[in-house]
Amino acid sequence: MCSWKRRKTRELVLPTKSMRKYIENIIIGAGISGLTIARLLEEKKIPYLIFDSRSNIGGKLETIKHGEYDLDVGFQIIIEDYPAFKIFPEIKNIKIKRFESGFIINKNKNFYKILNPIKNPIGFLKNSSFPDFSIKDKLLLIVLFLKNEKSKNLNVVKYLTNLGFSKKFINDFFKSFFQGVFLDKNLQIPLEYFLFIYKLFAKSNVGIPIGGINSLATLLSNKLNKNKIELNNKIIKINENSIIDSKKNEISFRRLFCTDPSLESLMDDDINVQIFKDIQYKKTFNYYLVVNINNISENIIYLFPDSNIISSLYFSKKNGDNYLVSISSLNCDNYNDIKNEFISYFKNVNSLELIQSFNIKKALPYIDKFYKFKNKSYIKYTNKIYFSGDFLSTPSINGSIESADNLIEDLEL
Ligand SMILES: Cc1cc2nc3c(=O)[nH]c(=O)nc-3n(C[C@H](O)[C@H](O)[C@H](O)COP(=O)(O)OP(=O)(O)OC[C@H]3O[C@@H](n4cnc5c(N)ncnc54)[C@H](O)[C@@H]3O)c2cc1C
């Protein structure tokens, strides 16, 4: 079984005996899933050590400081009623910049403000200035809120069509709004997950933590011993009973928790079953501009159903008429195209400057195969190695926490 190449790799990385250590529980990844595992072990006073190759905790919950601005790597929001948040009561106290419940939609060169129908049904029904939203469509939003479908295989757009929503409404509202959430304009996601997110948006407060999305990871890590988090240390090999880190230290474990599917590629051939080898990701682009502009609304999502490149944007006020604008696109890596289209929508721009852009290639995992994996959202890979994370649950903060929580709950600790 052993090829020459593998023997050679092993020889290269095998550490000397004096360097070997033992840690009862090793967690690879200080993203939200790894931090959740650590918190749950900490509560039970069980020893652990987290490794992450990055220089900061948080994984995909990444915020970059740019002068006075905290810029999230990708438009990321917290839904305050995420069910998994209940295991961390302190999340209730996190300061959140909330979005107004509803959105502003651009159609035929005009802007229309639409209120959330569940929170404000009378205002929503009365506010009929938008040309494409019929009374039937509006009432069906309430019907949809009451639906409970467990099927994974029904196509979301077909389901909405069969329910009676008009094509225009599906395009201008559902596809336009939810493409930014699922990073997929065709809404090819399990129906159950779509309904779950739709209902949460309808009834819950939504926003971004002050200081950026990474503040959530920092909050969870506040109750962890910082000496138990080893950053800037990439794991380079995973054996049945041990890992090897970037400094060529071999550390053996009783349990290993992996929170990224790419870790499978580091596994010894004897244990690698290649379950994640075909995993794919949805991408997104995010542009941050400082804009001097008047007569706009801040902290509400703007939608552009007719645009081929801008999916959504929002403004946050800085001072006077200066705003930070975050623009999301599913497909456009050309800033000039984004800028020209932005100016075509907002004629009252006095000045604008791009301060940062992100091209996020591995944003959300495609989840068809692993969606809520075996209803548990984690995998026992070998007798000692486990995988958890958004790729085994739902691609969200809620999914990452839920996956880790289910895993620790099922272990006999
Ligand atoms: C652009 C974007 C927008 C999003 N929008 C939202 C949103 O609005 N709302 C929402 O709920 N969710 C959103 N999400 C999803 C959410 O951010 C993720 O689901 C969640 O952060 C994933 O956490 P995780 O712990 O499962 O994985 P990760 O955060 O990916 O953590 C895995 C960690 O493992 C580490 N690692 C990997 N390999 C190694 C190695 N060899 N050695 C050491 N460490 C290693 C990585 O560095 C990483 O820190 C968004 C994600 C992106 C990217």
Mean pLDDT (whole number) for 74-99: 96
236 and 157 within one domain = no
According to DSSP, the β-strands at 235-238 and 229-230 are: unpaired
For a mutational test of ligand 1's pocket, the pick from 32, 54, 60, i.e. the residue with the most ligand atoms closer than 8 A to its C-beta, is: 60
Within-domain flag for 146:
yes
Of 413, 404, 364, which Cα lies nearest the Cα of 27?
404
Ligand 1 centroid distance, CA of 216 (Å):
13
Q: Which of 181, 204, 227 is the last residue of a domain?
A: 204
Residue among 251, 256, 260, 263 whose CB has most ligand 1 atoms within 8 A, to mutate:
260
Q: Is residue 255 part of a domain?
A: yes
Q: What is the mean pLDDT of residues 143-161?
A: 89
Span 100-104, mean pLDDT? 91
Mean pLDDT of 295-322: 94
Instruction: State the chain's mean pLDDT as an integer.
Output: 92
Tell me, using a 6 A CB cutoff, whether residue 191 lines ligand 1.
no
Question: Which residues span the domain enclosing 391?
Answer: 2-60+214-279+366-411
Residue 194 lies in a domain: yes
Which pLDDT does position 150 carry in this prediction?
78
Confidence of residue 5 (pLDDT cuts 50, 70, 90): very low
Residue 16 DSSP one-character state: P
Asked whether residue 8 carries a pLDDT value surpassing 80, the answer given is: no
For residue 343, is it within any domain? no
Q: Is pLDDT above 90 for 59?
A: yes
263 falls within a domain:
yes
Burial of 264 (0-12, 13-18, 19+ CB in 10 A): buried
How much is the average pLDDT of 88-111? Answer: 93
Please identify, among 204, 238, 267, the residue that sits at the C-terminal boundary of a domain. 204
Q: What percent of the chain shows pLDDT beyond 70?
A: 93
Q: Looking at the structure, tell me whether residues 262 and 379 fall in a common domain.
A: yes
164 and 271 both lie in a single domain: no
Q: Give the residue-averaged pLDDT of 124-131.
A: 67
User: 196 with 222, same domain?
Assistant: no
Q: pLDDT band at 247, cuts 50/70/90?
A: very high
In this predicted structure, which of 101-110, 288-297, 320-329 has the lowest mean pLDDT?
101-110
* Claim to verify: residue 122 and residue 9 sit in the same structural domain: no
Residues 373 and 270 in one domain: yes
The residue whose CA is least distant from atom 1 of ligand 1 is: 74
Lowest mean pLDDT among 203-217, 242-256, 361-375: 361-375
Tokens of 172: 């201008």
Lowest mean pLDDT among 18-22, 174-178, 259-263, 268-272: 18-22
Question: Is the per-residue pLDDT at 95 higher than 80?
Answer: yes
Tokens at 74, concatenated: 């990708």
pLDDT at 20 over 80: no
Same domain for 199 and 131: yes
Q: How many angstroms separate the alpha carbon of residue 365 from the centre of ligand 1?
A: 10
Span 327-349, average pLDDT? 97
CA angle 214, 219, 220 (to 5 degrees): 100
Let me know if residue 113 belongs to a domain. Answer: yes
Residue 19 pLDDT? 53
At 313 the pLDDT is: 98
- CA 266 to ligand 1: nearest atom: 41
The pLDDT of residue 120: 75
pLDDT at residue 155 in the model: 93
Above pLDDT 90, what percent of the chain? 82
| Contact criterion met (CB below 8 Å) for 42 and 334 | no
Is the model more confident about 112 or about 329?
A: 329
Predicted confidence (pLDDT) at residue 345 exceeds the cutoff of 60:
yes
- Does 54 contact ligand 1 (Cβ within 6 A)? yes
pLDDT at 16 over 70: no
Residue 309 lies in a domain: no
Atom of ligand 1 nearest to the CA of 391: 26
- In which element (H, E) is residue 36 found? helix 32-43
Mutation choice for ligand 1 from 237, 239, 396, CB with most ligand atoms inside 8 A = 396
Model pLDDT, residue 413: 83
- Which of 148, 177, 204 lies at the terminal end of a domain, its last residue? 204
- pLDDT at site 358: 98
275 and 371 housed in the same domain: yes
Split at pLDDT 50, 70, 90, the class of 128 is low
Q: 219: domain CATH number?
A: 3.50.50.60
- The answer, yes or no, to whether any atom of ligand 1 lies below 6 A from the CB of 293, is no
What mean pLDDT is predicted for residues 190-212?
95
- Please tell me if the CB atom of residue 52 comes closer than 6 angstroms to any atom of ligand 1: yes
In a domain, 33, yes or no: yes
> Are 220 and 262 in a shared domain?
yes
Over residues 39-53, the pLDDT tens digits come to: 999 999 999 999 999
Q: The pTM is what?
A: 0.93
* Residues 189 and 107 grouped into a single domain: yes
Q: Separation of 166 CA from ligand 1 center, angstroms?
A: 36
Asked if residue 120 and residue 178 are part of one domain, the reply reads yes
Structure tokens at 117: 């129908």
Number of domains observed in the structure of the chain: 2
Average pLDDT over residues 191-211: 95
Note whether 35 and 166 are same-domain residues.
Answer: no
The answer on pLDDT for 6 being more than 50 is no
